[in-house]
A and B are shown apart, each in its own frame.
Chain A
């Protein structure tokens, strides 16, 4: 074989194992040396599990009947619990936490013989868009290490882009899978709410959180999504709806679809290179004979304020459990109430504190109706608007982000960071699926992403459409060219 094994994508590596051309231990060893070589610069991983990965590889190799993911080397965002493997959530408060059980998604991956190579960096408690809020260190964008990889699943996206894993899992509460996927030139799916079990995902905002795959191709994403999706009795919001064969169905695309695109008003203030890339994708739709119409989404204007009431409110409640009693960090104290106070004060970083305070405020007596109840109504209005739109169209096409990957320290003001979620947050509020795929490059060679939104439980259709666009854009293997880990100049 001419190329290194880490260059093979998920589906490709699994095929090689199936054909008996390579051994799983060889793949794992290749990833280990890749991580050892590259991760000092990228810093995608908080914890590596090389020994466990190698011993699992040996076990799987001798199995007669291997699972569908035999040969898959996968990185896991560090807010998904893994039995016996440290899970920090990017926070000092969980720095030494070793979970006594695994998330359902981990059990599903392992049941299909996937190998977990490590836990990836994130903004503390998944609150952020750059990994700069990680309590440990920021992750760097493999396309330009002076820039952020996006967030909060920045470690997962960077690991996949730098070929330090074949694929990864992230979580998406307001865009945390799709935005880093766009910044790092990879594919990221936020599934429908209820599609993937959240059991074992450390809760941030429970009505918005979903786990999703981050992969080098749509095909890889379809396979990983298919494995992790489906009913789980351990998650009360898990949907009983059957899971379609996403991977096998990829090529059955019907061009009898209609796409909603954004009007000029919705693109105000968006980076010009993002807009011109968006227009190129619309031209591509024309050349493929796909019908589109311009649409107005008036409710999107208040989606971000709505999100920044709901998410911090839920977070303030969810994060009340970190009190130093049962697990995690405990501050030295003389009495109990002092212990709560000191543990939380010393254990949480500033963005987490900001959101807890914001949520505590909007839920507090006298303010609830004005903020939380109003946001819950705004959220329903957004949901109804999507429902009405999806009667006229099948998909909505948007840029994934308002700008390409920014530099470290560029967004000091919390509000300017919150605006990153403009295009992604509506999917979480309405519970619908969204996928980001690479759509081109800036003049400086930074990757750009395009987002497709579909109606609830239309993942299968989203994957088909994304697969078609990916094929016609033909950018698929670009990430394999990043070997210097520097930005490739003038790549278009």
Chain B
């Protein structure tokens, strides 16, 4: 049985998530339990070393041709903030 410690602070940083005080209390225990449960897999001797692939037909390539795409204004319509045909985001780098 594999039972690795999860560093929730580091994992949440990688996932771009902040934990609330409530989650900081509940999550470590829940995650430990889940991870130890899925850790059963480690002791499993699988009959194959092959990894699963979901489809058994070869992926096709699309023809290189111009197709109609969605109009710019329709795509931008759902952007939270936009300006002059661009999506606007807050400052990327913080100035001093």
Given contacts A236-B59, A357-B11, contact A333 B41 (CB under 8 A): no
Residue of A nearest to B95 (CB): A335
Q: Which residues of A contact B57 (CB under 8 A)?
A: 239-240
- The interface centre, meaning the residue of B17, B59, B62 with most chain A CB atoms within 10 A of its CB, is B17
- Expressed in whole angstroms, the Cα–Cα distance for A305 and B36 within the complex equals 10
Residues B44 and A374 in contact, CB atoms below 8 Å apart: yes
In the complex, B66 has a CB within 8 A of chain A = no
Tell me the B residues contacting A by CB distance below 8 Å.
Answer: 2, 4, 6, 8, 11-12, 14-18, 20, 23, 27, 30-31, 33-35, 37-42, 44, 46-52, 54-55, 57, 59-60, 62, 70, 74-75, 77-81, 87, 89-94
Q: Is A381 an interface residue (CB 8 A)?
A: yes
Given contacts A327-B78, A344-B15, A380-B48, 14 further A-B contacts (CB under 8 A): A194-B55, A305-B38, A328-B80, A334-B91, A335-B90, A340-B16, A354-B27, A357-B15, A358-B34, A360-B11, A374-B44, A377-B49, A379-B52, A418-B34
Report Cα–Cα, A163/B11, bound state, in Å: 45
Among the listed B31, B60, B79, B91, which residue makes an inter-chain contact with A358, where contact means beta carbons less than 8 Å apart? B31
Q: Please, how many angstroms separate the alpha-carbon atoms of A243 and B39 in the complex? A: 40
Q: B4 to chain A: which residues have CB within 8 Å? A: 367, 370
In contact, A336 and B34 (Cβ under 8 angstroms): no
The residues of A that contact B59 with a CB separation of less than 8 Å are 236
User: How many chain A residues touch the partner (CB < 8 A)?
Assistant: 69
Q: A377 with B50: in contact, given A327-B79, A350-B23, A371-B41 (CB under 8 Å)?
A: yes
Nearest CB in chain B: distance from A353 CB, A: 6
Contacts of B12 in A (CB 8 A): 357
- B78 touching A98 by the CB < 8 A rule? yes
* B90 and A305 within 8 A (CB): no
Distance to closest chain A CB from B88 (angstroms):
10
24 A-B pairs in the complex with CB atoms less than 8 angstroms apart:
A100-B75, A207-B54, A302-B41, A305-B38, A308-B34, A316-B15, A329-B80, A334-B94, A335-B93, A336-B92, A353-B17, A356-B17, A358-B34, A358-B35, A361-B11, A361-B31, A367-B4, A370-B4, A371-B41, A377-B51, A378-B46, A380-B46, A381-B46, A414-B34
B94 contact set on A, CB distance < 8 A: 334-335
Query: How far is it, in angstroms, between the C-alpha of A39 and the C-alpha of B10 when the chains are bound?
Result: 44
Interface residues of A in 68-123 (CB under 8 A from B): 97-98, 100-101
**Nearest 7 pairs of A and B residues by beta carbon:** A330-B80, A327-B78, A376-B51, A379-B52, A380-B52, A345-B18, A360-B15
Q: Which residues of A contact B81 (CB under 8 A)?
A: 330
Residue of A309, A336, A379 touching B89 (CB-CB under 8 A): A336
- A341–B74 Cα gap in the complex (Å)? 27
Residue A138 at the chain B interface, CB threshold 8 Å: no
Contact yes or no, A100 B77, CB < 8 A: yes
For window 362-393 of A, CB contacts with B under 8 Å fall at 362, 364, 367, 370-371, 373-381, 383-384
CA of A370 to CA of B4, assembled, Å: 10
Cβ-based interface call for A285 (8 A): no
Quick one: closest B residue to A298, CB to CB? B47
Q: How far is the CA of A306 from the CA of B49 in the complex (A)?
A: 15
**Distance between Cα atoms of A490 and B54 in the complex (Å):** 44
CB-CB < 8 A to B17: which residues of A? 341, 344-345, 348, 353, 356-357
A19: interface (CB < 8 Å): no
Question: Given A336-B90, A345-B17 in contact, is the A305-B52 Cβ separation under 8 Å?
Answer: no
Kindly report which residue of chain B lies nearest to residue A305, judged by CB atoms.
Answer: B38
Shortest Cβ distance from A107 into chain B, in angstroms? 14
With A339-B90, A357-B27 as contacts: A375 and B41 at CB distance below 8 Å:
yes
Nearest CB on B from A29, distance (A): 32
Contacts of B89 in A (CB 8 A): 325, 336, 339
Per-residue B-contact encoding for A195-207, CB less than 8 Å = 1, 0 else: 0000000000001
A431 at the interface (CB under 8 A from B): yes
A residues 304-343 touching B (CB-CB < 8 Å): 305-306, 308-309, 316, 320, 323-330, 333-336, 338-342
What residues of B have a CB within 8 angstroms of the CB of A325 in the complex?
79-80, 87, 89
Contacts of A306 in B (CB 8 A): 41
Residue pair A381, B47 in contact (C-beta under 8 Å): yes
Q: How far is the CB of A311 from chain B (nearest CB, A)?
A: 11
User: A233 at interface (Cβ–Cβ under 8 A)?
Assistant: yes
In the complex, whether A415 has a CB less than 8 A from a CB of chain B is yes
- In the complex, how many angstroms separate the beta carbon of B56 from the nearest chain A beta carbon? 8
Q: How far is the CA of A57 from the CA of B35 in the complex (A)?
A: 51
Question: Does chain B have a CB within 8 A of A237?
Answer: yes
A193 is an interface residue with CB less than 8 A from chain B: yes
A450 to B90, CA, bound (A): 53
CB neighbours (8 Å) of B60 from chain A are 236
